[in-house]
Structure 1
Amino acid sequence: MTAERSSSAALEQALALIDEATVVADASSLILAASENPGGTELVAVRVLESIASRLGGRSRRQLVAPGRPNLSIRFGPDATEATPGVLMLGHSDVVPAGEGWAADPFNPRVADGWLTGRGAADMKGGIAAALQAMAAVHRAMPDAPLELLVTVDEEDLATGIEAHLAATDPAAIYRACIVAEPTDMAVVIACRGAANLQVEVSGRAAHAGRPEDGASAITTAARIIDWVADDHARMRAGASGLLGSATWNVGRVEGGHGTSIVPDRCTLLIDRRLMPGETGSEALAQLEAGIADALGSDGCTADATLLMEMPGFETAPTHPLVATAVEALVAEGVPAPVEAWTAACEGGFIARHHGCPTVIVGPGDITGQAHQPDERVRIADLGAAARAYTRMLVHLHH
């Protein structure tokens, strides 16, 4: 049998094992395993993942990141080697807090009118369920293919899960590709900006508001820093080009002062900085510190900036064979499969930077229209299409 016929036979065998109803049931079980972050634990969701993996024939291994917060690696087939590199699929077990405005219990999954609704349906328990079934199906058809699903904790907050994984993982580990199952509305995302969360603590000097010149207003100084951030944001946007445009700044929170009759002696800023591929959080911090130095006046206020979290970006060349593999897999499932950049950030940049492997993001659900919102939902048809498309990609990548 030729390699092409062998691949075709393996694909046919694997696709026959994909069952959309089972993907929905597994995604529903994961939604029931509430794993809100911040404020909760991913442990119950990890236990459900281990149960699904055991049923499907996968090998699970935990890495404890913090009490009640284990990363989970699920492997099918042999471990990857230099002669036979593996394919890594990537996801996260945490979800953002449910919040208000739901029509029903956010952690009681509901199936109606072709949709699965519940917190995490789109971001990203549906994608994880589809990935697991695809990997198990390919393993049945191609037992010698090294396949791994990494599910991290704390993706939605400080990325401590992926950081712990990389600290314990040899960069020389061989992956021929990384497929991130985040919700892209079934587009093929080949470029993704990173993100840095920064905090600025401004210290001033309190005084009675009747004699404000006796004090030093931390809020006034913070306002000058905010002006610098807005100006630098405009500067970067003016030079935007390519798929990803430019880096951006956003001041997401301002908190300070004590009352109207007191000159404020403190003010805290929380700032989001989107990073271009290759740009680091430390570089963004240095830029912010330079801007702070320009913004400080002569009234004695001081300001300290801290990098709270960094998530690197990545960019895979549109001509890379992995991109064509992803597009062809989706088109075969009747999905248009546009090739796009992403406005969000994800942990794929960590893998691309650490292992040097080509990376794409492909998954069911809409990151802007559904994720992080009340009544989050995903199309059931997309869950099935994603499982079959992942199956096609995994078979093709191992031939």
Structure 2
Amino acid sequence: MSAGAASGQAAAVEAALALVDGATIVADASALILAASENPGGTELAAVRMLETIASRLGGRSRRQLVAPGRPNLSVRFGPDPSAEAPGVLVLGHSDVVPAGDGWHADPFSPRVADGWLTGRGATDMKGGLAAALQALAAVHRARPELPLELLVTVDEEDLATGVQAHLGEPPSHYRACIVAEPTDLAVVIACRGAANLQVDVAGRAAHAGRPEDGASAITTAARIATWIADDHARLRAGAFGLLGSATWSVGRIEGGHGTSIVPDRCTLLVDRRLMPGETGAEALAQLEAGIADALGDGGCTASAALLMEMPGFETAPGHPLVAAAVDALAAEGREAPVEAWTAACEGGFIARHHGCPTVILGPGDITGQAHQPDERVRIDDLEAAARAYVRMALALHDAG
């Protein structure tokens, strides 16, 4: 690179960073918190409308994709549309939040700023990240209007992921990279397991508990299936390796029977299966079905399993330019920038698979200490640092080609 080109790139970075304003990010994040979008329990429409208002003020152009009544995905683009000749940088987020629940010291949807923190449902997961991303993309656009940039905001991320699955019905586009703005406490997450939610229904035969041999206990059979799940989980963990370790099984709920004196003729298990990158929910379902066949025995019960939801995982090589851009961007902001894997799941795997683009997760807020909890909050300094990091990443990725 010539000295002149390097000087021009540095000038663009400084020009864009000068447009990042922490107070405006807090104001926009507060407006998004006010636009309550609990899921389940409501719609994301108010939050989407507020995002459109912010985007319009910043010079972005918005497009909705209706997923269900009152539940539109939103795409906000700056600059030209991404193309094979000029791939874009995509930032991914979601507009819904989990229900507020109990235990708050004030109204969850009345944002509060105090002692360097913004508090309210969604402050961390992830309306703070959305506000930071929008301002960052707008700042890059002002400095380099020829660069294609996009923020994709899905609905229903916190429940069934119907929003991102609707997005998969659209043709793949051309992106250099995807940055998922979920809260990572500003760590660079390069690997993320996927998740599959499965349901097992066991059918038995009711009888009087005084003669249990006349019936077939669905609960006893379900217990054998749960034991198989625990044993297979231990097998998977024994083979753990790399950043992500291994796939996992967990029985999250079991429900069955009618009363103490009745042999239960039904039982249902809800099962969580964490997926390794490249592994599918269909594969996990097939494994579970094989385990059910082993566990049924000749007790007179039958069982079936179904896949309720699948979220794929992803893994980006530590040496990829996207990872370097993220680490360098955070280091320039005086942040440690650890490179990590996530034990949670996110929609980044859908994007990586559908668009074929490298993906990282990087955002303000603490996923384990703040998200989904009463008095959810995010550090205001982290909101601004995230926006500045997104600016540096977008420019570095485009300049690297």
Same fold by TM-score greater than 0.5: yes
Give the aligned partner of residue 159 of structure 1.
161
Give the aligned partner of residue 80 of structure 1.
82
Give the aligned partner of residue 274 of structure 1.
274
Q: What is the Cα deviation at residue 192 of structure 1?
A: 0.3
Give the aligned partner of residue 64 of structure 2.
62
Give the aligned partner of residue 132 of structure 2.
130
Letter of the 2:175 partner, please give it. Y
Q: What is the Cα deviation at residue 299 of structure 1?
A: 2.3
Distance 1:38 1:217 in 2: 34
Give the aligned partner of residue 207 of structure 1.
207
Give secondary structure in 1 for the equivalent of 2:395. Answer: helix
**1:142-181 paired onto structure 2 within 5 Å:** 142-168=144-170, 170-171=171-172, 173-181=173-181
Give the aligned partner of residue 299 of structure 1.
299
Give the aligned partner of residue 42 of structure 1.
44
Distance 2:236 2:29 in 1: 40
CA offsets per residue over residues 6-65 of structure 1, 9 Å max, x none?
211111111010000110111111111111111211011000000000000000000000
Specify every segment of 5 or more residues in structure 1 that has no aligned partner in the other structure, as ranges: none
Give the aligned partner of residue 337 of structure 2.
337
Q: What is the Cα deviation at residue 2 of structure 1?
A: 2.5
Give the aligned partner of residue 245 of structure 2.
245
Distance 2:41 2:219 in 1: 30
Give the aligned partner of residue 289 of structure 1.
289
CA offsets per residue over residues 329-371 of structure 1, 9 Å max, x none?
0011111000000111000101111111110000000111111
Give secondary structure in 2 for the equivalent of 1:207. Answer: coil
Q: What is the Cα deviation at residue 387 of structure 1?
A: 0.6
Range with greater deviation from structure 2 (44-53 or 1-10):
1-10
Among candidates 32, 35, 45, match of residue 34 of structure 2: 32
Normalised by the size of structure 1, how large is the TM-score? 0.98
In 1, are the aligned partners of 2:221 and 2:299 still within 8 Å (CA)?
Answer: no
Specify every segment of 5 or more residues in structure 2 that has no aligned partner in the other structure, as ranges: none
Q: Percent identity among equivalent residues? A: 83
CA offsets per residue over residues 168-190 of structure 1, 9 Å max, x none?
2x23x210000000000000000
Give the aligned partner of residue 186 of structure 1.
186
Q: What is the Cα deviation at residue 156 of structure 1?
A: 0.7
Task: Give runs of ≥4 in structure 1 deviating > 2 Å.
Answer: none
Letter of the 2:165 partner, please give it. E
Distance 1:47 1:75 in 2: 15
Give the aligned partner of residue 109 of structure 2.
107
CA offsets per residue over residues 136-189 of structure 1, 9 Å max, x none?
000000000000000000111111100000112x23x21000000000000000
Letter of the 1:73 partner, please give it. S
**1:300-319 paired onto structure 2 within 5 Å:** 300-319=300-319
Distance 1:319 1:28 in 2: 37
CA offsets per residue over residues 40-93 of structure 1, 9 Å max, x none?
110110000000000000000000001110000000000011111101100000
Distance 2:195 2:16 in 1: 37
Distance 1:63 1:147 in 2: 18
Q: What is the Cα deviation at residue 395 of structure 1?
A: 1.2
Letter of the 1:64 partner, please give it. L
Distance 2:261 2:130 in 1: 53
Letter of the 2:21 partner, please give it. D
CA offsets per residue over residues 301-348 of structure 1, 9 Å max, x none?
111101000000000000001101000000111110000001110001
Letter of the 2:10 partner, please give it. S
Give the aligned partner of residue 198 of structure 1.
198
Distance 1:99 1:198 in 2: 25
CA offsets per residue over residues 263-321 of structure 1, 9 Å max, x none?
11111111100000000000000000000000102122111101000000000000001
Q: What is the Cα deviation at residue 385 of structure 1?
A: 0.4
In 1, are the aligned partners of 2:321 and 2:397 still within 8 Å (CA)?
Answer: no
Give secondary structure in 2 for the equivalent of 1:167. Answer: coil
Normalised by the size of structure 2, how large is the TM-score? 0.98
Give the aligned partner of residue 323 of structure 2.
323
Give secondary structure in 2 for the equivalent of 1:267. Answer: strand
Give the aligned partner of residue 373 of structure 1.
373
Give secondary structure in 1 for the equivalent of 2:202. Answer: strand
Distance 1:38 1:205 in 2: 35
Number of corresponding residues: 397
**1:352-367 paired onto structure 2 within 5 Å:** 352-367=352-367
Give secondary structure in 1 for the equivalent of 2:168. Answer: helix
Give secondary structure in 2 for the equivalent of 1:61. Answer: strand
Q: What is the Cα deviation at residue 99 of structure 1?
A: 1.1
Distance 1:257 1:119 in 2: 37
Give secondary structure in 1 for the equivalent of 2:90. Answer: strand
Letter of the 2:196 partner, please give it. A
